């Protein structure tokens, strides 16, 4: 299916008539100028959740959906026996990661945080649409500045694109994407503080750009992490890291590759 067929199916439900033809022509104009199909449709599906995009957050990526799907069984196994798994979805954007965790891990209790007011509004909309009740709160915070609790799981897709590459997504919020010359301007302060906000045996999961794997390994070692593993995405590129706050490797079927 091409983008036009997707729009006709997902936005118009295959019902085209005189009253919505003008709107479709407008959509096709936007599409021809490179405007993202998912903004035109207004939502995406993401791991059993419908993610509304009306406030124009970052559009959830298939790489993120892939690693989250792979990670959910690891989280369940690692926190087996916990009555409640306290989760922080930091850099939430649309809230897609935290919403998918809340929907797919019934004993999770999710807190969302992001720096942008528009995303705070977007997360509220998405919590409502997906009828998610196992969430604690939404916090407007610059990285950890307004976070005060400890969490069993901190899950993060920070901005990580080097300045020169950000232009590849010209219609999405730059603050969600670019992060300095090497794309590490948010990752560095995040990783340097994350252990202070993790409970004993807590886990963190973080997405990154494949070129950053060595730099991230160095940062983690500098900050005393001994147990972390890098994983690849569906295209065979290193894309996410899971680390633990204690000297114990989380239950996974993967072997340490780096």
Ligand X SMILES: C[S@@+](CC[C@H](N)C(=O)[O-])C[C@H]1O[C@@H](n2cnc3c(N)ncnc32)[C@H](O)[C@@H]1O
Name the residues that contact ligand X, by CB under 6 A. 57-58, 60, 64, 91-94, 96-97, 114-116, 119, 141-143, 157-159, 175-176, 186
Q: Which is nearer to ligand X, 148 or 255 (CB)?
A: 148
Q: What is the DSSP letter of 161?
A: B
The least CB distance from residue 168 to ligand X, in Å, is: 13
The least CB distance from residue 217 to ligand X, in Å, is: 21
- Distance between start and end Cα atoms, the chain: 39
- DSSP labels, 43-92: EEEETTEEEE-TT--PPPPHHHHHHHHHHHHHHHHHTTT-S-EEEEEES-
Q: Which is nearer to ligand X, 104 or 246 (CB)?
A: 104
- Cross-strand pairs, 241: 206, 230
- Cross-strand pairs, 135: 110
The least CB distance from residue 113 to ligand X, in Å, is: 7
Alpha helices, DSSP H only, in the chain? 3-10, 18-32, 37-41, 62-78, 96-104, 117-129, 187-193, 213-222
d(CA 214, CA 86) in angstroms, rounded, equals: 30
Nearest residue to ligand X, scored by beta-carbon proximity: 93
The least CB distance from residue 196 to ligand X, in Å, is: 16
- Cross-strand pairs, 85: 108
Measuring CA to CA, which residue among 198, 139, 137, 188 is closest to residue 159? 188
The least CB distance from residue 157 to ligand X, in Å, is: 4
Q: Which is nearer to ligand X, 93 or 243 (CB)?
A: 93
Q: Which is nearer to ligand X, 159 or 202 (CB)?
A: 159
The least CB distance from residue 179 to ligand X, in Å, is: 8
Q: Which is nearer to ligand X, 118 or 199 (CB)?
A: 118
Q: Which is nearer to ligand X, 20 or 145 (CB)?
A: 145
């Amino acid at each position: 299916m091409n983008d036009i067929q997707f729009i006709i199916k997902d936005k118009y439900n295959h019902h085209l008539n005189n009253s919505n033809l003008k709107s479709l022509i407008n959509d096709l104009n936007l599409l021809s100028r490179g405007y993202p199909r998912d903004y035109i449709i207004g939502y995406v599906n993401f791991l059993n959740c419908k993610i509304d995009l009306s406030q124009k957050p970052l559009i959830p990526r298939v790489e993120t959906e892939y690693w989250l799907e792979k990670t959910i069984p690891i989280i369940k196994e690692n926190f087996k026996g916990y009555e409640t798994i306290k989760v922080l979805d930091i850099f939430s954007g649309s809230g897609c990661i935290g919403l998918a965790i809340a929907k797919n891990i019934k004993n999770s209790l999710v807190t969302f945080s992001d720096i942008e007011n528009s995303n705070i509004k977007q997360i509220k909309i998405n919590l409502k649409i997906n009828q998610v009740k196992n969430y604690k709160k939404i916090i407007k915070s610059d990285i950890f500045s307004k976070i005060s609790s400890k969490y069993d799981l901190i899950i993060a897709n920070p901005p990580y694109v080097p300045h020169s590459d950000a232009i590849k997504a010209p219609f999405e919020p730059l603050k969600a994407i670019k992060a300095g010359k090497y794309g590490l301007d948010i990752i560095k302060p995040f990783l340097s503080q994350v252990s202070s906000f993790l409970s004993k045996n807590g886990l963190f999961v973080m997405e990154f750009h494949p070129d950053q794997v060595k730099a991230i390994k160095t940062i983690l070692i500098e900050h005393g992490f001994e147990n972390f593993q890098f994983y690849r995405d569906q295209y065979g590129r290193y894309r996410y890291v899971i680390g633990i706050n204690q000297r114990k490797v989380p239950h996974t079927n993967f072997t340490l590759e780096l």
